[in-house]
Structure 1
Amino acid sequence: MNAASPPSGSDDGGPSARRNPFSHHLARVADRFPDLLPFLAVPLLTTLLDADGVRRTIAEAGNRVSINFEFRFPDPFLDLWSFVDPPAPTAASSTGGSVPFAPAPVDPPTATGAGDVTVDLAFQSRSVPLGEAGPGLIAGLLALLVAYAAVFSVVYAVYVGGIDRRLRGEPIAVVDCVRSYAGRFLAYFAILFGVFLLAVPILAVLILLALPVALLAMYLFYGVPFLFVVADLPVLEAFRRSYRLALEGGPYLRFGAWYFVVTLIASPIVSVVVSAGGPVGFLLGLTLVVPLSVLLTAATVSFFDEFVGQSSGAGVETGVDGGAAPHGGGSNDWTD
């Protein structure tokens, strides 16, 4: 099968698929869910590894009911903390934005009182006396961030790349996924973190613009991590391609809008169940979110797999806009 051909067995799905590509691809991957079962372990483990968040969420259940409304365009990875914010540490409260590559909320250091700074990392929260927040602490935090980025680059590479391979009936090929995609994800996280740091002082002044600017950026570039895998694009070309697709609208806009609506509806339901239900609510939340996370990622991979194949078939024989051919020359076969 050459690079210009759409995935095997993946016709355009008719008018309904063109109107709502999200439901079309969600139904397709639901039919293939048994092939995706190994990936349930990833959002489950990343949720449970935040032991401090788990403890605080269960301990505070019933004392508070949290209702979260999450604004998300397609994301390569979701876990329970993508829908639920664990209670803040009792000694401090935290505010601020999130570091893009961490599955759990990751807030920048924020003042929490006259003498403390709270640092929230992916799997722990720690209050640090203000006097200790010197160069040594900053260097340590940067080292932790680099380590987290490296680990999550591997996780994302295996998760997204492995889902793509399973949907095409191939082995997950962990080593090949890491070798092919981890470096791109690491560069992607570095770019997002750099943009985040540059934007914080600007958006702190123009606070009313923070949300619309963030949503616009999320929409324009949500395709980037999926294009790494599906189209085998290098980092900068993936950003350019995602930007062009976003400006064109069409299926890219419709898929992203439906994903946005689904996660916006799911987040208050899950957050209420988890925050009010104690251990039972926490387990129920995991039961809802873990398969949903895998299905949403798989549906997005399926969408881009078909979308890139159709774009190539429209006249770009060498791949997407002159980039590498999808899957290194067209091994993107689906078996429905």
Structure 2
Amino acid sequence: MLVDMVPEPNSSPTANGSGERPSRSAAFPRHLGHVTDRVDDILPFVTVPFALSVLEVEQIERALDPTTASINLEFSLPSPLLTLWDLVDPPEPSGADTQHVGPGASNGGQPGATTTGTDVSIDMPLETFFPALESSLLTVIGIAILVYAVMAGLVTAGYLGGIDRRLRDEPAAIGRCLSQYGPRLVLYHLLVFGAFLAMFPFALALPGLILLAIPVVLVLGYLFYAVPFLIVVADVSLVDAFRRSAQFGLQERAYFWFAIGHALVCAIASIVLSLLVTVGAGVGVLLALVVGPAFALLVTAATVSFVQELARTGDAGRVVRQ
């Protein structure tokens, strides 16, 4: 591995025009500014976070409920499919009823009985497509996870792949992105969903483990936030993407400061967007559905730009050739 100390071209976000090494702590604002300057090239991709936000019908209904109000503070690490509802979390309607169908739900533990009452529900992806089944429940859950992983993987492939190619001044070539990155990103989402599903029984059996798991999840989320981006930007295997992401997380200060900048900016955006939804009522929700996806596109594109730099240099101030 050879190291070339020649600075990057001035058109690159890694250069500051003076030949000096760019500040690692300014990694996020630097790349956010870079993609903002290229907004015309990536603007069509705003349809992805917009569509994903609109498809969350339950969230929209909760946001439109006049009896609820909330101000959110969401610190979000880089995500390949950031949407409005990752930044705004409308509360459940006051006195909302939830129904549970299953063995021993109520009525003296009668199997299949239905109970109605105030409760905390856990939203499962695509839950509306599958009825509550007492038999073959694991099969149903497995199918739901598989379908969701395929959908999420393909959307991620087209979305990140298109942004990556446009930032390189290449045609988006969505079909090529789907075939080239789709299988690995489907596998990535299956792995993530499977990991959370594997922890679920332990959380039910030992609720105290949830508190212990929070810092572990945060650390893992930090170390591996670049994985889906590396699959696209560097075109590496899933295993290599995990390895390189962890290496960046442990060795690159720019990787750390980018995550901090991303989390802080998302926190500020979550306050603004939640106020817009709460105060603006229906008009505010409509505005949030426009502003939120646009913001999500910019920070996601900034992450793509940053990972391009990491994959190209291995460090914020030097070029690495293999």
What is the distance in 1 between the residues matched to 2:25 and 2:84?
30
1:297 and 2:315 aligned: no
Q: CA offsets, 1:175-207, max 9 Å, x none?
A: 110011111111111111122123334453323
Structure (1 or 2) with the larger CA radius of gyration: 2
TM-score (norm 2): 0.81
1-side partners of 2:253 and 2:136: how far apart? 50
Q: What is residue 110 of structure 2 aligned with on the other side?
A: none
Distance 1:314 1:21 in 2: 14
More displaced 10-residue stretch of structure 1: 203-212 or 259-268: 203-212
| TM-score, with structure 1 as normaliser | 0.78
Cα deviation code 1:239-287 (max 9, x no counterpart): 0111111111411011111111111222233123213432111012122
Match for residue 45 of structure 2? 39
1:24 aligns with 2:30: yes
Q: Distance between the aligned counterparts of 1:110 and 1:28, measured in 2?
A: 52
1:307 aligns with 2:313: no
Aligned length: 297
8 Å contact from structure 1 (residues 83, 267) kept in 2? yes
- RMSD across aligned C-alpha pairs, in angstroms? 3.1
By how many angstroms is 1:238 displaced? Answer: 0.5
Partners of 2:197 and 2:237 in 1: CA distance = 23
Worse-superposed segment, 19-28 or 268-277: 268-277
Displacement of 1:144: 2.3
Structure 1 stretches of 5 or more lacking a match? Answer: 95-108, 319-336
CA contact (8 A) 2:164 2:232 kept: yes
Pair 1:70 & 2:74 matched = yes
Q: Which amino acid aligns with 2:52?
A: T
**What letter corresponds to residue 33 of structure 1 in structure 2?**
V
Mapped to 2, the partners of 1:67 and 1:302 lie a distance apart of: 31
Q: Which amino acid in structure 1 is aligned with residue 216 of structure 2?
A: V
Residue deviations 1:289-330 (CA, integer Å, cap 9, x gap): 111111101111111112221129968533xxxxxxxxxxxx
The offset of 1:67, in angstroms, is 2.4
- Give 1:35 shift: 0.7
- Distance in 2 (CA, whole Å) between partners of 1:116 and 1:69 is 33
Matched residues in 1 for 2:197 and 2:54: separation? 28
Distance in 1 (CA, whole Å) between partners of 2:99 and 2:31 is: 40
Is the aligned partner of 1:214 residue 2:217? yes
Question: Residue type matched to 1:180 in 2?
Answer: Q
Describe the shift of the 1:110–1:76 C-alpha distance in structure 2 as closer, same or farther (beyond 3 A).
farther
Q: 1:57 aligns with which of 55, 58, 63?
A: 63
Alpha-carbon distance in structure 2 between the residues aligned to 1:196 and 1:127: 20
2:208 to 205, 218, 238: 205
Partner residue of 2:247 out of 241, 244, 248:
244
Runs of 5+ unmatched residues, structure 2: 107-113
Opposite residue 83 of structure 2, the aligned amino acid is D
Q: For residues 320 and 135 of structure 2, what CA distance do their matches in structure 1 show?
A: 51
